Amino acid sequence: MAAACTRALCKVGGGILESAAARRSGTVSSYLPGSRRAFGSGGYRSKLLTSLRTGGGAGGRVLGCAVLLGGGLGLYQTVKFRLQQHLAEEETKVSGGVGGGGGGVKLTLYQYKTCPFCSKVRAFLDYHGLPYEVVEVNPQLNDSSVIISSLKTYLISRDKSVSDILRCYPEMKSVNDRGKEVTEYANKYWVMLGEGEAAALYPDKGAQKEERKWRQWADDWLVHLVSPNVYRTSGEALASFDYIVREGKFGTYEGFFAKYVGAAAMFLIAKRLKSRYQLQDDVRQDLYKAVNDWVAAIGKKRKFMGGDHPNLADLNVFGVLRVMEGLQAFDDMMDNTKVKGWYRRVERAALQHEGREQTEP
């Protein structure tokens, strides 16, 4: 975690705990024109933070920072992403599409490093070799699936403007079963292509439908297994925050509070998530089953779900699992499932930007 991000969070953590925004489930500042989205993190968050907080001053600030740092895994905090070029000027400023490493489009990823949704977007950008800047921020929520679908469409359909593509993903507001207004996006798992383009991208019958199915599975199920596994025991929670503190270059005093208070908070939150999603007593078994189900769906004859190359489902699942690297949950998953070969292949494809070849003119 970038030191600048950590220091900024430490400064604002206490204030965020007090704010009305922290008492809501989460607010999205989307890159889509005029859009807003809330990811349900549960009403228990503000109650938990209030009960754990011991007062103002440095301790309060660090507590706010600690909880926010852990929230990247537990509370589905995700990405704020934008195309820095103004959409109204896009037609004249961007020539030749995004192929060949960007084609003039400047991408900035406003991310939270340990967030699985941010990691999904990074996996997509890395694989396609799209140049982008990373800005570490305090948690802002956005729909990573819309970001990926719209960018993939833009990479392939060079006759479409970004503005036209974004209109294919209209927002839909509704009230969930807890009485809270939420915003979803229509067609979020669809890449908007013409018939010829779709046939070239998905040559096998049913490939497009399969990709959409498993992208949604990653969002609706796999991502919810991360936090309960990373913070499964008090020891694992402490180990996770020990890693966060080392990455964040905390001072001695702040690091102590971030590690122990943050670990305690996320350990309790993980228990609530375990109950909400009706996970087994040993949550590792749910993780192992999910990962093995994914590998079984790929089968023995394919390197990736996308065949010889990763598709969006491959990149999404990889992005979610990657946030556990360096932690016990990741090591256990690699040792006790069949995912290792596939995971390393996708990792290599992303690091080498192999997707760039598919989008070059």
Q: Which of 16-20, 77-81, 211-215 has the highest mean pLDDT?
A: 211-215
CATH number at residue 147: 1.20.1050.10
Establish if 68 belongs to a structural domain.
Answer: no
Establish if 38 belongs to a structural domain.
Answer: no
pLDDT tens string 285-336: 999 999 999 999 999 999 999 999 999 999 999 999 999 998 999 999 999 9
Establish if 62 belongs to a structural domain.
Answer: no
229: left (phi over 0), alpha (psi -120 to 50) or beta: alpha
Query: What's the predicted TM-score (pTM) here?
Result: 0.67
Q: What is the pLDDT of residue 82?
A: 40
Count of beta carbons in the 10 Å neighbourhood of residue 235: 11
Establish if 151 belongs to a structural domain.
Answer: yes
Establish if 100 belongs to a structural domain.
Answer: no
Among candidate residues 146, 168, 165, the one with its CA nearest the CA of residue 157: 165
How far, in whole angstroms, is CA 335 from its chain's centroid? 24
Distance separating alpha carbons of residues 267 and 260, to the nearest angstrom: 10
Percentage of residues in the chain having pLDDT higher than 90: 42
Cβ-based neighbours of 21, under 8 Å, separated by 6 or more: 27
Q: What is the pLDDT of residue 91?
A: 39
Among candidate residues 58, 26, 303, the one with its CA nearest the CA of residue 180: 26
Establish if 32 belongs to a structural domain.
Answer: no
pLDDT tens string 39-56: 333 333 333 333 333 334
Q: What is the pLDDT of residue 253?
A: 75
pLDDT band, residue 359 (cuts 50/70/90) = low
Distance separating alpha carbons of residues 301 and 44, to the nearest angstrom: 45
Q: Enumerate the active-site residues.
A: 112, 115, 117-118
pLDDT over 60 at 102, yes or no? no
How far, in whole angstroms, is CA 71 from its chain's centroid? 12
Q: Are strands 80-83 and 107-111 parallel, antiparallel or unpaired?
A: antiparallel
Establish if 90 belongs to a structural domain.
Answer: no
Average pLDDT over residues 264-271: 87
Number of domains comprising the chain = 1
Average pLDDT over residues 201-228: 95
CA distances from residue 245 to 219, 260, 355 in whole angstroms, order as listed? 28, 10, 34
pLDDT over 90 at 61, yes or no? no
Establish if 75 belongs to a structural domain.
Answer: no
Q: What is the pLDDT of residue 108?
A: 87
pLDDT over 90 at 18, yes or no? no
Q: Which of 73-87, 152-166, 180-194 has the highest mean pLDDT?
A: 180-194
Range of the domain at 267: 107-358
Q: Round the average pLDDT of the chain to a whole number and report it.
A: 74
